[in-house]
Amino acid sequence: ARFVTALTEKLMMYAINRNLEYFDMPQVRAIVRGAAKNNYTLSSIVLGIVNSDSFRKQGPEPGPMVAALRR
């Protein structure tokens, strides 16, 4: 299960284009639990990530004006 959790974390970081935070971890655990019901198939992990709040509720990339203001 540790391998599946690590794989899920890495795939999720790639999917949401940022490092995972503490508030992402319950979603990661839920994805792993859901994948366990399907014998840990890669497709069940990917579906879990795509259906997660972290993936679905991503904000758009900040434009150049916002990036300049943050400096």
Q: For 30, what's the count of Cα atoms within 13 Å in the CB-facing half-sphere? A: 13
**Spatial CA neighbour of 15 closest among 40, 62, 48, 44:** 48
Residue 50 has what pLDDT?
96
Number of domains in the chain: 1
Below-50 pLDDT ranges, the chain:
none
Residue 58 has what pLDDT?
78
pTM: 0.79
Residue 41 has what pLDDT?
97
CA–CA distance from 68 to each of 5, 16, 18, 46, 54 (Å)? Answer: 37, 22, 20, 34, 26
DSSP structure string for 38-60: TTT-HHHHHHHHHTSHHHHTPPP
